[in-house]
C-alpha cells in the first residue's frame, strides 16, 4: 500500500485496483414481479410528449429573424 501512496507515483495502479474491485461486484438483479401500485400508476400517466429534433442554431436564428421582420 505504501508504494501506491507514493508522492511520485502516477496513480495508475490505484485506478487498476478500483476497476478490478468494481468488476468483482455482483451484477444488479432484475425484478420480475412488478408491484400492483406501480402498474396502476403507469396506467394513469399520460403518454410522453413528442418534440421534433431541434434545428441548427443558424437556421433557427434565420427563421426567427424572418418572423420578426414580418411582424
Per-residue CA distances from 32 to 26, 29, 35, 44, 45 (Å): 18, 9, 10, 22, 22
Q: What is the pTM of this model?
A: 0.30
Render pLDDT for 7-59 as a digit per residue (tens, 0 to 9).
555 667 777 777 777 777 777 666 666 666 666 666 767 777 888 888 899 99
The answer to whether the CB of 54 falls within 8 A of the CB of 63 is no
Give 10-67 as a DSSP string: -SHHHHHHHHHHHHHSPPPPPP-SPPHHHHHHHHHSPPPP--PPPPPHHHHHHHHHHH
Predicted pLDDT at 37: 66
Amino acid at each position: 500500500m505504501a508504494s501506491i501512496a507514493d508522492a511520485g507515483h502516477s496513480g495508475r495502479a490505484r485506478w487498476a485496483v478500483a476497476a478490478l474491485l468494481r468488476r468483482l461486484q455482483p451484477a444488479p438483479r432484475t425484478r420480475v414481479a412488478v408491484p400492483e401500485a406501480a402498474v396502476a400508476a403507469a396506467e394513469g400517466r399520460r403518454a410522453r410528449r413528442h418534440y421534433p429534433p431541434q434545428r441548427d442554431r443558424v437556421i433557427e436564428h434565420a427563421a426567427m429573424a424572418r418572423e420578426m421582420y414580418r411582424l
